[in-house]
Amino acid sequence: MKITAIMGDSIYCRRATEILEGLYKENPQYKKIELVILDENKDVDKIREFSYMLAPAFFIGNRIAFCGLPTKNGIDNVFKRAMKL
C-alpha cells in the first residue's frame, strides 16, 4: 500500500517530517511502505486529486487518513492502517 503525504513549509509540516524520521528509526518495517511526499507549493497538479483542508495531510490510497496538527500517535496510526491493507 502507498501513503501520500502533502507537506508545505509550515512549522507543522516540519514537525511531521521530524515525527516521520523518528517513526522510521523505531519501526524499520515502515520503510517497506511506499511514502510519496508532495510539496504543497511545487506539486500543485498532483495535489488536485486529493481532498484536504490543510497540510500536513496523509492519505492511504486516495482516502484521507490524517490531517492537521501532527502527532506521533496520529502519524503512527496511518502507517499501522496501511500495513493492514
Interval 30-52: pLDDT, tens:
999 999 999 999 999 999 999 99
* Spatial strand order in the sheet of 57-60: 34-39, 2-7, 57-60, 63-67
Backbone torsions φ then ψ of 65, nearest 5 degrees: -115, -30
22 alpha carbon, distance to own chain's centre? 14
Can you tell me the distance from the alpha carbon of 15 to that of 61, in angstroms, rounded to the nearest whole number? 23
CATH of the domain spanning 2-84: 3.40.30.10
Domain locations along the chain: 2-84
Share of the chain above pLDDT 90, in %: 98
Average pLDDT, the chain: 96
**The three grid cell numbers given for residue 6, joined into one nine-digit string:** 502533502
